[in-house]
Each structure stands twice: as structure tokens, then as C-alpha cells.
Amino acid sequence: MLERTIAFLGAGNMAEALIKGLLRSGTARPDAVLATGRRTDRLQVLQSTYGVRTLTDNVAAAREADIIVLSVKPQAMDKLLVQVAPVLDHSKLIISVAAGVPIAALERRLGAGARIIRTMPNTPSLVGAGACALSRGEHASDEDLAVASRIFQAVGITTVVDENLLDAVTGLSGSGPAYIFLVIEALSDAGVKVGLPRYTALKLAAQTVLGSAQLLIETNAHPGQLKDQVTSPGGTAIAGLHTLEAGGLRTTLINAVEAATRRAKELGEQFLEKSGG
């Protein structure tokens, strides 16, 4: 258990996912968790559901906590940093979940020496199946990185990468759920087209994606090997795969990840400019 107070500045979906995971796993106690937000109705829901403390005052929460999770949307980050910077001394660990906000931009607002961990989680964290990459700033310690990893392991898997790879993580696993939802929707539409009821088609498509991913993870096999196990000579799967290759599915997915990565880089550059870089 983390014997530290954690404050989530911004009580959105990701903050709730992390709060839920931390409490469910026993990583944190409810009385050691604070959450802030502008909507009092939202804060009341978090308080009644999880038993955590809630405030509308970001400064008060930041002053009290040992670990500060910056969980506002990227466009609100600069205003939040200006607000709380005076009470964030270097004894506190700062964790950011905002996409496209570089560590350098955070340091400019929080001062040299700030202990910062930048993360890129994804929305499956809401159901405990997230994928999160973490990068540490110059002044964050090995222990700081371990603490941040424990927090995100409460809602899925974690991996550590250099910060210059976080835009690529954003393009792949950060944006990836949107690609997979589109695949599931398309498979479901196809099922309806060939005669299946909508609910049945959607249920089968979603479980097929879930089960295929689980098979890959548990066997640690190469996806090409698992694909070959499904395809038999002159069979149905190879006919379908031929159509997918002819339609450029592989190239389209690669292009999607590249496009999202470029956009993440652009957003990071814009935020640096805004913060005086």
C-alpha cells in the first residue's frame, strides 16, 4: 500500500478509473485520496461511490498531497499549472496524464528540479485493462518511477519508454482503442449484412477481438503464427484475409498510427510555444 496522499487534479474518467483501481487493488486507502473538479455533482458521485475526499480547490489539494496527478484535459493544463505551481515544492511527485504536454513544458511552469513522470494511459483503463507508457523527467528518481508504475498497474499494464517515444505511444495505444472500436463496428456491420441480428453480430465481433488479444498475450506467440493457425488451405479465413490485404487494411492501420503520432508531436510543440518555449 502506498503510504502517501494522492490528489487527482481533475476528476474526469481517467481519474475515476485510477481511483477505482487503486482502491480495488488495495494500493491506496480512500482517506488518502483526494479529487478536485469544478462540478460539485461530479465530486459528490466520486465521494459517495468511492469514499474519497473531494474539493473544488486545486491549490488546497495540491498543498496537502504527496503525489499530484495532473488529470485535466491538455487545453486546461497551462491554467492549472499556473494556479498550483506556488505550492508544488520538490518534495512532491508530479504525474501527468495529459496527452501532448511535454515534460519540458511542465518544468517551465513548476520550476527546475520538479519531480515529474509523464504518462500515456488509454481508455481501457476504465475497465482495468489499460496500457500505459511512462517517462520520467530528469529529476524523478527510480523510486518515483516505481510509485507511478504501481498506480497505473492498478488499471492495467505499464511500460517505461524515453519521452521522445511517447508521441508514438499516443499514436498506437493511446489512440488505438478508437481504431479497434471502428474494426468492431465494421465487423458487426458485416455480420448484419450476411444475415446476423445486430446484437448477435456485435457481441460476436467484440468477443472475437477480446479473445484474440488474450490468446496473443497468454501464448506470447507471434501474431502471424496465430493467424496461420486459423487459415487452412482453400478455406474461409484465407479468402477473407486476401480481401483485407487487397483493401489495404495493413497499410491503412500503419498510416493511422503515423498520422496520430504526427498530430501528437504537433500538439506538444504548440504547448511548448504556449508555455514560453
Residues contributing to the annotated binding site for NADP(+): 9-14
The one-character DSSP state at 100 is: T
Distance from C-alpha of 277 to C-alpha of 262, rounded to nearest angstrom: 19
Instruction: Tell which residue, 87, 88, 11, has the closest CA to residue 49.
Output: 11
Binding site for NADPH, residues?
Answer: 58
Residue 21 CB neighbours (<10 A)? 22
DSSP assignment of 56-95: S-HHHHHHH-SEEEE-S-HHHHHHHHHHHGGG--TTSEEE
Beta bridge partners of 118: 96, 135
Q: Which strands, in side-by-side order, build the sheet including 115-120?
A: 53-55, 33-36, 6-9, 67-70, 93-96, 115-120, 130-136, 156-160
Phi/psi region, residue 70 (left: phi>0; alpha: psi -120 to 50; beta: rest), is beta
Terminal CA-to-CA distance of the chain, rounded, Å? 38
Coil, strand, or helix at residue 14? helix
Binding site, residues?
Answer: 9-14, 58
* Identity of the amino acid at 259: A
The answer to whether the CB of 92 falls within 8 A of the CB of 68 is yes
